[in-house]
Amino acid sequence: MQTSSGKERTPFHPPTILVIGILAASTSSVFIRFAQEEVPSLVIASYRLSLATLILLPYTMSCYRADISRLNGQQWAQIITAGIFLGAHFGTWISSLEFTSVTSSVILVQTTPLFVMLLSPILLREGSSIWTYLGLSLAIIGSIGIALSDSCSLPIEAACLRELTQMNSTAMRGDLLALAGALSGAVYLIIGRATRKAMKLIPYITLIYAVAAITLIGVAALSGHTFSGYSPKMYMWFLLLALFPQLLAHSSYNWALKYLPATSVSLSLLGEPVSAAFLAYLILGEALPALRWISAVVVLAGIALAFYRPKSTLRGISKIDKIQG
């Protein structure tokens, strides 16, 4: 049913559903940190994607088998390539949490939309506005501040700057892995966009998750990791990761896009790093130094600026499906 304004009526409150999705995504870093007490990061990523795939698979095969059978060779190639990059996204981002703070990791991986905007002119021949480049510049400045915050405090001393240029600290390794997660996530979105437009959401994410899971399992196995022998608590963390940040959060975002402007949904997702940092502070006891918070605000402001469009030139913004958290 639609309202007089033409919008579809829903028994649920879209902003509330969106908040639930953001909170579900915010638990990801905490669950991962607990699982990393025993389990290698690549194994955690493998279980997260594998369990999500297994949960979706029975429903997908019973309701969308015909949609999958109609896929052509080019679409399968896009799905496989995009799935490999999605696996790389989760593998690098989850690994980053071994080395850097939750706040730094989540903020840096949240720059995925900026990489999408930066790569689109190269890979899709789509132009970017001046706001995109201004936002990207601001996010880069904030990212440098986050890197400094892992070993420095205000006022910044010369020794900390030397450590940044040497790029050999443990926290720096984590920050670079988080940025690698953002970049691979952006490539996943760009490659899979054409196929996503031609497919319904459920079969698309089921196939993408399956390819990502297979990719991660292969890399973890080649790295010599084992997938069994962990304590029961670890398997509980795997299941919670699949249910909350992977399935509930992703579904909430895409449901909200049906009732709310894509720009509003995209910008509201910037609340995820804030809530994730707050949970890390409460549950993990992670410190929140001033430099990190200031830098995080700069990064988020850069992302918001990149989404900005003056009303006189606004023509609509393409949806970007959410994958982290």
155 preceded by a cis bond (ω within 30 of 0):
yes
pLDDT value for 154: 63
Residues 250-299: tens digit of each pLDDT? 888 878 877 776 656 666 777 888 888 889 989 999 887 888 888 888 88
Is residue 165 scored above 60 in pLDDT?
A: no
Question: Residue 319: which residues within 8 A CB-CB, separation 6 or more?
Answer: 257, 262
Cα→Cα distances 213→49, 115, 243, 301, 311, Å: 5, 23, 15, 33, 42
113 preceded by a cis bond (ω within 30 of 0):
no
Is residue 314 scored above 50 in pLDDT?
A: no
State the first-to-last Cα distance of the chain, in angstroms, to the nearest integer: 33
d(CA 108, CA 140): 10
Phi-psi region of 308 (alpha: psi -120 to 50; beta: other; left: phi over 0): beta
User: Where along the chain do its domains lie?
Assistant: 14-307
d(CA 96, CA 47): 17
Axis-axis angle for helices 170-198, 130-149 (nearest 10)? 150
Exposed, middle or buried: residue 167 (CB in 10 Å: 0-12, 13-18, 19+)? exposed
Question: Residue 301: which residues within 8 A CB-CB, separation 6 or more?
Answer: 138, 142
pTM recorded for the entire structure: 0.85
Nearest CA among 265, 318, 325 for reference residue 19:
265
pLDDT value for 28: 96
pLDDT value for 72: 94
Residues 79-109: tens digit of each pLDDT? 999 999 999 999 999 999 999 989 889 989 9
